[in-house]
């Protein structure tokens, strides 16, 4: 197809976001590199809101740019989840950057917006090359963000580990893609999906090798066991808002990529890879939750919690019975996960920056210093654990039922057991907040308006979706996700 014949209006949100990111970078350069620039943070949030509106209007119906870029319900929902998540992360970052004026604010916000652009390209890609371009745009921006505290040895270590291991993961992905291209002569995911059933009869081992190599690379991006070892160190060393970004936005974008590739390209070999994914999900849930029990640093604890959550998200994909039902379950849990995790990270950022330390004792006596924040933090943690009355419980219930319907009772049992384990390490933070007296010199701790707004919105969404989940599940169940 000629480039002049393509319907480029389908990429309007991505083009606008790119222009706005470059505009923010230029404004930062013109107003001096250093210094407090809260207006850039607000301009970044406005840019994301404009992009979200454009996504709703341009992605509401299906359309293609060749076999490279697609707009469908899957792309629309995941883009909106990503954009909301990034807006919350940037709002958290504004408080963090006020406490760290030596950080280059314009570059920080621009990198986050470029990473968001990469994530949006990823979830709309139906071509292996375009998919990889989006993945690398997200990854390279994330490498830079992880090492943004240039004077911190931990931050530098996090960036080095992330870039080295991320490069290895990208090599695995490319090697797996090369097998598919060699067999089919195309990089289009849709064409690959059509040709794979016949090719699998003749070349089963090559196709499974391709799938496994790509799964290793994707496994790194979504931090599933045993490809998770980078996550605790990177999460601990990176600035806390960046940790929130990696834990939620980057993970969900990579998971959207996995869904697009496996459901569209490898759907005909489901029986061959379903058990492999189920095994990875089981090991990830077990390792993530049990190692979290030993953590004293709150960011490392959340890293292992995020690893366990990746295992939960793999369960419905491994137990797929009906494509639309599976996607609805994953989308609902993705929405719940964004609000619960970013709400928790907003409080973590505020508390750790106020106390100057990141271990669990930084939450000591928080209920006596700010009762509202302590109660809200407890709601987020119990939601992540799966307490009834929260969005986390509803999401896990849907996943649990889907695993049983998909005839993977053993996986549902592992999920239930590990969710019980998670209550224990989340309760470690709750115990510090409610059952420990604050230090004698600790007075009332007042939260900034931005942090208070984020946690209020997040806790409202967590509770509302836990009580009346049908307000979005009925919408998710009403349409076809792909094309």
Q: How far apart are CA 469 and CA 463, in angstroms?
A: 9
Distance from C-alpha of 367 to C-alpha of 378, rounded to nearest angstrom: 10
| pLDDT < 50 positions in the chain | none
Looking at residue 359, its pLDDT comes to 86
Residues in the chain: 483
Predicted pLDDT at 2: 54
Distances in whole angstroms, Cα of residue 24 to Cα of each of 15, 27, 48, 95? 14, 5, 12, 19
Strand-strand pairing, 69-71 and 63-65: antiparallel
Residue 17 in contact with residue 51, Cβ under 8 Å?
Answer: yes
Q: What is the pLDDT of residue 19?
A: 92
Give residue 103's pLDDT.
67
Which DSSP category does 439 fall into?
P
DSSP string over 235-261: HHHS-HHHHHHIIIIIHHHHHHHHHHI
Cα→Cα distances 256→155, 249, 302, 334, 368, Å? 28, 11, 21, 10, 41
Alpha helices in 35-104 (DSSP H): 38-58, 73-99
Closest Cα to residue 429, out of 362, 368, 372? 362
What the block records as the tokens of 350 is: 């505020």
Q: How far is it, in rounded angstroms, from Cα 231 to Cα 446?
A: 31
Residue 235, CA atoms < 13 Å, CB-side half-sphere: 29
Supply the pLDDT for residue 150.
Answer: 75
Cα–Cα distance measured from residue 227 to residue 190, given in angstroms and rounded to the nearest whole number: 28
For 442, the 3-state DSSP assignment is: coil
What are the extents of the domains in the chain? Answer: 270-483
Nearest alpha-carbon partner for 58 in 129, 123, 10? 10
pLDDT at 31: 73
Residue 289 has what pLDDT? 92
pLDDT value at position 34? 63
Query: What is the C-alpha R_g of the chain?
Result: 22
């Amino acid at each position: 197809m000629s480039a002049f014949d393509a319907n480029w209006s389908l990429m309007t949100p991505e083009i606008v976001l790119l222009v706005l990111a470059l505009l923010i970078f230029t404004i930062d350069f013109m107003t001096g590199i250093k210094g407090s620039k809260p207006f850039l943070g607000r301009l970044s949030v406005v840019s994301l809101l404009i992009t979200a509106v454009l996504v709703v209007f341009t992605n509401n119906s299906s359309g293609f740019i060749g076999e490279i870029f697609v707009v469908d319900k899957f792309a629309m929902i995941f883009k909106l989840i990503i954009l909301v998540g990034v807006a919350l992360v940037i709002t958290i970052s504004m408080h963090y950057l006020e406490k760290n004026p030596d950080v280059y604010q314009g570059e920080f916000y621009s990198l986050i917006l470029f990473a968001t652009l990469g994530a949006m390209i990823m979830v709309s890609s139906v071509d292996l090359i375009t998919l990889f371009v989006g993945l690398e745009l997200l990854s390279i921006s994330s490498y830079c963000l992880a090492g943004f505290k240039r004077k911190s040895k931990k931050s530098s270590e996090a960036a080095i580990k992330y870039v080295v291991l991320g490069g290895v993961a990208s090599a695995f992905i490319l090697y797996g893609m090369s097998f598919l291209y060699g067999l089919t002569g195309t990089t289009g995911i849709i064409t690959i999906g059509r040709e794979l059933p016949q090719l699998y009869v003749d070349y089963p081992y090559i196709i499974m090798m391709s799938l496994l190599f790509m799964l290793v690379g994707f496994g790194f991006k979504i931090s599933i066991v045993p490809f998770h070892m980078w996550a605790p160190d990177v999460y601990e060393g990176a600035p806390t808002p960046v940790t929130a970004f990696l834990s939620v936005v980057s993970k969900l974008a990579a998971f959207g990529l996995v869904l697009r590739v496996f459901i569209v390209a490898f759907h005909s070999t489901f029986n061959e890879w379903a058990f492999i994914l189920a095994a990875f999900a089981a090991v990830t849930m077990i390792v993530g939750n049990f190692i979290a029990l030993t953590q004293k640093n709150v960011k490392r604890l959340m890293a292992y919690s995020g690893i366990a959550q990746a295992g939960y998200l793999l369960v419905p994909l491994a137990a797929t019975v009906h494509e639309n039902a599976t996607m609805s379950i994953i989308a609902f849990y993705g929405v719940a996960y964004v609000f619960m995790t970013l709400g928790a990270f907003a409080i973590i950022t505020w508390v750790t920056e106020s106390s100057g330390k990141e271990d669990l004792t930084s939450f000591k006596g928080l209920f006596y210093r700010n009762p509202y924040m302590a109660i809200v933090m407890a709601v987020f943690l119990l939601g992540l654990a799966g307490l009834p009355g929260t969005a986390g419980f509803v999401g896990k219930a849907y996943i649990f039922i889907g695993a049983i319907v998909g005839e993977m009772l053993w996986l549902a049992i592992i999920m239930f057991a590990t969710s019980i384990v998670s209550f224990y390490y989340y309760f470690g933070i709750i115990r510090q907040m409610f059952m420990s007296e604050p230090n004698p010199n600790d007075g009332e701790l007042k939260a900034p308006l931005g942090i208070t707004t984020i946690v209020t919105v997040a806790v409202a969404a967590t509770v509302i979706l836990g009580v009346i989940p049908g307000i979005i599940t009925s919408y998710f169940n009403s349409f076809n996700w792909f094309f």
